[in-house]
Structure 1
Amino acid sequence: MRRPFPLDAEQERFVADILSYMTLEEKLGQLAVLVDAPSGPDEEYAEAVASGRIGGIVDIPDRDTARAFQRRAVEETRLGIPLIFATSGRVRTAGAPKPSGWSRAASWDIETVEALGHEAAGDALSSGSRWLLGPKVAIDRKVVADEAAICAAEPVLLAELSAAYVRGVGSYSHSGEPNVLAGLQCRHAGGDSASETDPAVLEPLFAAIREDCLASLQPQPPALARFAGIALGRCRNILEATGGPLEWTVDAAETAIAQGRLNEGEVEDAARGVLSVKCALGLFRDPYAGLTGENGADGNESAVGGFRQAEDNLARRAMVLLRNRGAILPLSQDLQRILVVGGPGGIADGCREGLETFGISTRSVPGLALRGEGETYHDMGEHDPFAIALSCDAARRSDVVLMALDESMFSHSDGRLPRPTEPVLSLIKALGSIGRPIVAIVASEHPVDLGVAAEAFSSIVFVWRSALDCPIALAELLSGEFSPSGRLPVAIASEIEAASFPFGHGLGYSETVFSNFTLDYCDSAVTAEIRVHNPGEFALVETVQLYAGAAVSKDIRLAAFERVNLDPGEAQTVRFELGMKELGLLGADGRYRVESGLHRIAIGKSAQRVLSREVDIDESYARSIMLGRPVRGRVRATGTMDRA
């Protein structure tokens, strides 16, 4: 499949020719690409399309409506420039699972996230949209992002997964032509000192994606000033300066130009980006491509099946085992009395249903008194003490307790992680006093702070809310059909040490051994190698994480990672090449600089469980790394290795 950007010479000439014929009014019309579709028949809206005041429509309801508007644009405007149809990114396929930004990042799995992008593109195309306004991604260290498709605390993790999603969108093609392009939207969540346009956040993200099938991006960093696609921020600013997305006027534009508030060259550049995307999609050749066939995706079994398979794969790879004292998980076949604690309609049902498919019988109690419609678990109910007493009695007659914790059992407040509500804490404290091993199964959209409740649990596993749709995957994890491979995409900092976990943390059912950590020169990069051995009885996936930073600083940042499949008894050597982006610091100008002196390189299983070395890089080698030129020399390794 040919990548859409950069356009070839013939396409560039085509776009330039169209621009040479366009009036200022027609150029402004092309910038109105994010106009919401009308909720019903709207002749005034249709006239705006026919007069060239709209360049693109968002969330068109079906292909019939899209064809009708496209016909008005192609047949009635002076130049016949086609519309581009976009979708806001929400899944339109009936029955498809709801995406989870944190679970996607917790997978650390590039192939799985790429498959999700592929399915999202198919969903967009089912309604005639060729432009997916996503992924929406967030660099988030305080867990406040809610609508983002991918959330992570480290820019490198966010960048690699976002790039995979964009590639997946662009891979959905017929006859070698990309049918759908992505529109990356990045924001900085959590109120940290870094702003939305902090180059340390954005540059790794856009550097990983800029060669892929990207139609638009927002915000646009200085390093991508000549981005070939749609600069949404620039389009919006120009239209706001001239009256609004649909209210703009040529008179207002000419006044803004005369007053120096608007540059006509900026208008042309923005219009060129829109036309380039339409050209890359082949819309000038066939304006109705993707608009044929039946309407919508409601009842589209193939589309639902694709989403289901992709989300099932994600559910398996995203489950994070945070603690497993006494190797309670996987559940032993010798356990005859398994108690599931949790109300109906949540992850407790998934536990019961999933385990039953494997022939594992369970008993269940709701834990707390059932709530009526509109009632929550935030305050102690009149019948909660009785329900807790019944739960404790059932726990005494059990071998192990599976504590199902849904989103409704956590309280949310600004500036901190969700925490268990008071009634839930009372239930956990009471169950903990019984002395039976308790497994916490957390099915939340966000990472949570279990606080003092964490001390009661022998095992803790984050299965995320997506597990509600995947009970078989949950049962496979609990029964040992596969070893958990998810890793935390953000650190969980709690006032209680037992509830705190570092970035990148996650356990499997076997404990890998890291050894033979070596560093050396290789042309214009430092190479790092480490041996990873699985001495256990379970096949597993180990996520080998490489961190880098200045030796004089305690702070290290994720620089690279690699997921490695290991059979029982197998060992592999993982190799990283550390160049300018891994060893350098990003300046305000968007450029990396490698400083001479001691650099700390750490490889391990999380930001805290690492083997650590220091390398001494002199000025000549620092320059060679930045210039990409080989140099002779050697690395001086110093320091100690922390347990990994």
Structure 2
Amino acid sequence: MSPAASAFTRRKFLLGASSLTLLALAERAACASSLSKSAEQHIEALIAKMTLQEKAGQLSIFSDMTRLASKTQINPEAGPPVDDNLAKRVREGRLIGVFNGFGAAGGRAIQRIAVEESRLKIPLIFGADVLHGLYTVFPIPLGEAASFDPQLAERTARAAAIESTANGVHWTFAPMVDIGRDQRWGRVAEGSGEDPYLGSALAAARVRGFQGKSLTDEDSLLACPKHFVAYGAAMGGMDYNTVELSEQTLHEVYLPPFKAAFDAGALSTMSSFNDINGVPMSANRELMTGLLREQWKFRGMVVSDYTADMELVKHGVAKDDREATRLAILAGVDISMQSDLYNLYLPDLVRSGDLPMAVVDESVRRVLRTKYLLGLFDNPYRSLNPEVEKQNTMTPQLRATARESARASIVLLKNEDNLLPLPKAGKKIALIGPFANDTLNLAGPWAPWARPDHDVSVEQGMRAALADKSLLTVTLGSMIEKPIEGGIDAAVAAARAADVVVLAIGEGQDMSGEAQSRTQIIVPPPQQRLVEAVAKVGKPLVVLLRNGRALALEGAVRNAQAIVATWFLGTETGSAIADVLFGDFSPSGRLPVSFPQDSGQQPYFYNRRTTGRPQGDEGPAFKARYREVSNEALYAFGHGLTYSRFEYGLPKLSTESLAWDATLTITARIANIGEREAEEVAQLYIRDRAASMTRPIRELKGFKKVRLPPGASTEVQFTLTRRELAFYNSQMQFVAEPGEFDVWISPSATTGVSKRFVLKAG
């Protein structure tokens, strides 16, 4: 047994109140994945009848080029041209289903061939990459994470499920639950940021939202938490790169959101492209079988990422495609995506004795069980009703939810002299920048089916809010990554004629997402030059950042009087920005990622471990820091301003000596001492002061949103048990160690006053 595998068996889970809750969630998920005896018998009968080729077919999925799909290429070309022979493949039972095609009528036609013309009448499953909406697009997941509102995330996932299932989808390859601690990595945009506690809460919420009350419901969308596992730890923030990771960090940081998603009922997951410590995930039996299935008792199915099984050859662990096929299915990859390797090689591998039939049968069993749980055997035409498609696409209700989510995702980073909110009358506003009237970069990465002609630009949103439309002028100034001839001169002239300048700048949507790693996470140079020129005019500057990651802000952008992180907010971008910009809503978002002072600080995250020479008050010499900048963030994890001011009282503890099996209650009074009603996000952090292994300088263990009118106050309350204080020690035992802990209730990861308590030995 390897050290990693033996670590799983040695691991100790604490059976406190929190652990019992986790066990209850796991039991609930297991009940949701159970089938009737007759269904299990039908599955076994089908497996007994299936040829090897039909079994391989149930383990193969391909891109759907026969129905409405994206006009942009979202994956590299690979695998067979399924559009030319799809009907033949369906009749022969040579695929589980197809993905990234839409349309109820087209899906119904394909499904009819499967259930009426194929030998075994096994229904197809239709998948899609619906990460943050189909046609109605919600904020990118990183942006929505800034809401610190799992209930909202659940509602947007539910809304996305309603629209997607109406358009003929059963299965989404989402949520993306990878922790992103390096902002150079483009796929930070698709996740929930750098913190495992926040990431776990949002992972579970999105699974609940996608899947709804019952998997058999017409509007239930099977969730697929991805990418299993540690894809976000790619070295250098470079997509697809190798991962070197300790067992402790793997289990404390990267695995918890997956566990939370599975406990919430997710019945599929996707293997990641990366290797971990030299073992590619699509060949990693210890994690996909030893941990996922044997330890966690996961009963769902694992699909490879796009051609990830085939890439085992280029990883250098398989000599050819046949060997890659054998390694992948033995590791626990049930379904091959797009490569067609399983169809090509599984039958021969079994006939030659190089692969046990039982391994193939078990993967087929998982697939058929999932189709049964989705109700496809009883109702193969579920989610394939053209009338429902018309009723549930781009509805006013969907757009209202998109606008609400977009508002909640906006983070006010800076607001000197209360420049914001802007008045709706009496001031001339110059809206300058490449995103002023843009509708092509609102959706963000992984929203290829967005409808720009239905989306609201910043200009449209601002004009709709102003009674006198002439108060707003619009000038581009530059393109996203290229200058415009005369653009800066025009922008400077517009700024001189205005009372306040609003700069719509940042990243284009093709600068974030898959395969969009950046070495310099800065505003593109042409836009930076534009801002520098406009700033010299001397008018108040409001910066509206469009971003799919934390950015290292420089010069006039960094020094602007007001800075607002608006991410990629989706369909209702302009409306939501105007709602906040003009003060109809007070901003309430908080950063799910740390904004660094410089790109060279990456990877940078708030919950880093302490060193023996931490940066402190003794001076900069011989400390853990760079020559150019301090070790502090420009804007810390959890930071965000409102249009009011909140005051935190000192935290109070129910006891300063926590018994081994007891619960600690921490309270603090929060008062709105400003002049407007606003929403505050109170955050609970801890620090283990002395442990057998170095521990993070702070760890998020809870958060609560409170809305208060001016002059009002409320008491927020959190609880801790020893499970929240536990960690993986050097023997990979999950233990809490007696000793002293600091605790904060604060508005960010770097603020607040701590109180100390002691965990007593049991």
Q: Do these two structures clear the TM 0.5 threshold for a shared fold by scoring above it?
A: yes
Task: Calculate the TM-score normalised by the size of structure 1.
Answer: 0.82
Give 2:418's match in structure 1, choosing from 323, 327, 348. Answer: 327
2:644 is aligned to 510
- CA gap of 1:178–1:464, structure 2 versus 1, over 3 A, is closer
- Give the secondary-structure state (helix, strand or coil) at the position aligned to 2:427: coil
Matched, 1:37 2:64: yes
Give 2:740's match in structure 1, choosing from 573, 576, 598. Answer: 598
Aligned 8 A contact 2:123 2:376 in 1 = yes
Aligned 8 A contact 1:70 1:288 in 2 = yes
1:69 is aligned to 110
The alpha carbon displacement at 1:469 in A equals: 3.4
Between 542-551 and 352-361, the greater mean CA deviation after superposition: 352-361
Alpha-carbon distance in structure 2 between the residues aligned to 1:87 and 1:567: 43
Aligned 8 A contact 1:339 1:362 in 2 = no
Alpha-carbon distance in structure 1 between the residues aligned to 2:470 and 2:579: 15
- Give the secondary-structure state (helix, strand or coil) at the position aligned to 2:381: coil
Tell me the matched-pair count: 604
What amino acid is aligned across from residue 339 of structure 1 in structure 2?
A: A
Alpha-carbon distance in structure 1 between the residues aligned to 2:476 and 2:47: 70
Aligned 8 A contact 1:63 1:127 in 2 = yes
The alpha carbon displacement at 1:73 in A equals: 3.0
2:345 is aligned to 248
Aligned 8 A contact 2:725 2:736 in 1 = yes
1:288 is aligned to 381
1:640 is aligned to none
Give 2:437's match in structure 1, choosing from 326, 345, 365. Answer: 345
2:292 is aligned to 224
Matched, 1:357 2:460: no
The alpha carbon displacement at 1:499 in A equals: 8.3
The alpha carbon displacement at 1:618 in A equals: 2.7
2:369 is aligned to 276
- CA gap of 1:357–1:368, structure 2 versus 1, over 3 A, is closer
Alpha-carbon distance in structure 2 between the residues aligned to 1:499 and 1:378: 26
1:188 is aligned to 231
1:642 is aligned to none
2:408 is aligned to 317
Matched, 1:199 2:251: yes
- 1:111-130 alignment, distance < 5 Å: 111-130=151-170
Gaps of 5+ in 2: 1-27, 68-81, 236-242, 272-286, 310-322, 330-339, 440-455, 599-628
Percent of aligned pairs with the same amino acid: 25
Aligned 8 A contact 1:106 1:489 in 2 = yes
Gaps of 5+ in 1: 621-644
Matched, 1:18 2:45: yes
Aligned 8 A contact 1:166 1:214 in 2 = yes
RMSD: 3.7
2:275 is aligned to none
The alpha carbon displacement at 1:457 in A equals: 1.2
Between 379-388 and 61-70, the greater mean CA deviation after superposition: 379-388
Alpha-carbon distance in structure 2 between the residues aligned to 1:569 and 1:516: 18
Aligned 8 A contact 1:548 1:559 in 2 = yes
The alpha carbon displacement at 1:380 in A equals: 5.4
Aligned 8 A contact 1:173 1:180 in 2 = no
What amino acid is aligned across from residue 438 of structure 2 in structure 1?
A: G
Q: Which has the higher contact order (CA 8 A, sep 6+)?
A: 2
Task: Calculate the TM-score normalised by the size of structure 2.
Answer: 0.70
2:21 is aligned to none
Aligned 8 A contact 1:341 1:364 in 2 = no
1:131-167 CA-to-partner distances (Å, cap 9, x unmatched) read 1221223311222234864331111212211211111
2:663 is aligned to 525
- CA gap of 1:236–1:248, structure 2 versus 1, over 3 A, is farther
- CA gap of 1:288–1:352, structure 2 versus 1, over 3 A, is closer
Alpha-carbon distance in structure 1 between the residues aligned to 2:302 and 2:509: 42
- CA gap of 1:428–1:360, structure 2 versus 1, over 3 A, is same
1:629 is aligned to none
The alpha carbon displacement at 1:512 in A equals: 1.4
- CA gap of 1:26–1:73, structure 2 versus 1, over 3 A, is farther
Alpha-carbon distance in structure 2 between the residues aligned to 1:588 and 1:293: 57
Matched, 1:492 2:595: yes
The alpha carbon displacement at 1:508 in A equals: 0.7
Alpha-carbon distance in structure 2 between the residues aligned to 1:42 and 1:355: 45
Aligned 8 A contact 1:30 1:271 in 2 = no
Alpha-carbon distance in structure 2 between the residues aligned to 1:379 and 1:293: 44
Alpha-carbon distance in structure 2 between the residues aligned to 1:77 and 1:253: 23
- 1:51-90 alignment, distance < 5 Å: 51-89=92-130
Matched, 1:394 2:421: no
What amino acid is aligned across from residue 380 of structure 2 in structure 1?
A: P
Alpha-carbon distance in structure 1 between the residues aligned to 2:195 and 2:214: 31
The alpha carbon displacement at 1:358 in A equals: 4.1
1:138 is aligned to 178
Aligned 8 A contact 1:230 1:274 in 2 = yes
1:609 is aligned to 751
Alpha-carbon distance in structure 2 between the residues aligned to 1:57 and 1:167: 24
Aligned 8 A contact 1:31 1:239 in 2 = no
- Give the secondary-structure state (helix, strand or coil) at the position aligned to 2:225: strand
1:328-350 CA-to-partner distances (Å, cap 9, x unmatched) read 11225785343333355239962
Alpha-carbon distance in structure 1 between the residues aligned to 2:246 and 2:226: 11
1:194-215 CA-to-partner distances (Å, cap 9, x unmatched) read 6599222343212322233423
Alpha-carbon distance in structure 2 between the residues aligned to 1:116 and 1:131: 16
- 1:544-583 alignment, distance < 5 Å: 544-552=682-690, 553=695, 555-583=697-725
Aligned 8 A contact 2:176 2:225 in 1 = yes
1:48 is aligned to 89
2:576 is aligned to 473
Matched, 1:460 2:460: no
